[in-house]
Amino acid sequence: MKLFLKVWKQDGPQTEGRFESHVLDGVSEDSSFLEMLDQLNEQLLEEGKEPVAFDHDCREGICGTCSLNINGFAHGPENSTTTCQLHMRKFEDGDTITIEPFRAKAFPVIRDLVVDRSAFDKIIQAGGYITVRTGSAPDGNALPVPKEDADLAMDAAQCIGCGACVASCKNASAMLFTSAKAGHLNMLPQGQAEKDSRVLNMVAAMDEAGFGNCRNYGECSAACPKDISLDYIAKLNRDYAKAKIKKVFS
């Protein structure tokens, strides 16, 4: 395949960015999108040019670091897929592909296609934990959990924190991420002790980080590589309202 690439280049957080155009030939349709970027960087190094910086780690759709906007879509045109699992067979020979970093005030660009997503870490630090003793793992049957609750909690726990929900939202809202991280703990018995403080603190951290308000249009769930449901946002809103009322009358 021969591809025409428009790649965002930015030397640092305070510098002005620009698109650079590259022609890449001999791309296998069986290669992943990140392997295609590896091939581009090899070509740039051979030409004596600076390679393109982009984030990646596991390349197995688990770590969530491969955050790219591809032709205007977070993680690219294929549903329920991370960038590292997107294959070049989804594109045609001669296509022009525009590659950008995730765009959000709370995700400042570090360099090229790499953004700072530490705002997510602050949300987790605000309430993504439970107060149980550390040490050896407890017996699996020591604390019975209804299967329906366990399944819903596991569905929420699939969130890999990639930020596609933020990148796809016109308001750059982090409600889907926050609701998934709060929801998977709030639905389990182990998470009940901090349930109210968890939602209040995590939502406060989300707002403080500069994420926008939820528009409830559903772009976030559509872009999510793990198909996190909007139902978790609805649950977070209910839990937040109850926690607020309890705090007022406590």
pLDDT of res. 37: 98
Instruction: State residue 231 phi and psi, 5-degree precision.
Output: -55, -30
Can you tell me whether residue 24 is helix, strand or coil?
strand
Statement to judge: residues 14 and 106 lie in one domain: yes
The DSSP 8-state label assigned to residue 89 in this structure reads: G
Task: Summarize the confidence of residues 195-219 as an average pLDDT.
Answer: 95
- pLDDT-based confidence at residue 137 (cuts at 50, 70, 90): confident
Domain count, the chain: 2
Domain final residue pick, 45, 77, 111: 111
Statement to judge: residues 166 and 204 lie in one domain: yes
pLDDT of res. 102: 97
Statement to judge: residues 133 and 194 lie in one domain: yes
- pLDDT-based confidence at residue 136 (cuts at 50, 70, 90): confident
Statement to judge: residues 170 and 132 lie in one domain: yes
Statement to judge: residues 14 and 95 lie in one domain: yes
Statement to judge: residues 128 and 219 lie in one domain: yes
Statement to judge: residues 245 and 126 lie in one domain: yes
Domain range spanning residue 74?
Answer: 3-111
pLDDT of res. 133: 72
Give the tens place of pLDDT for each residue, 12-66.
999 999 999 999 999 999 999 999 999 999 999 999 999 999 999 999 999 999 9
pLDDT of res. 134: 65
Statement to judge: residues 218 and 107 lie in one domain: no
The answer to whether the CB of 21 falls within 8 A of the CB of 6 is yes
CATH number of the domain within which 102 lies: 3.10.20.30
Distance CA 215, CA 148 (A): 28
First to last CA, the chain: 65
pLDDT of res. 140: 66
Give the bridge partners for 4, in sequence order: 23, 96
Statement to judge: residues 28 and 135 lie in one domain: no
What torsion, rounded to 10 degrees, do the Cα atoms 173, 175, 176, 180 define?
Answer: 150
Domain final residue pick, 56, 80, 111: 111
Q: If you average pLDDT over every residue of the chain, what do you get?
A: 95
Query: pTM for the complete prediction?
Result: 0.93
Domain final residue pick, 111, 140, 163: 111
Statement to judge: residues 101 and 122 lie in one domain: no
Query: What are the respective helix, strand and coil percentages of the chain, to the nearest 5?
Result: 40, 15, 50
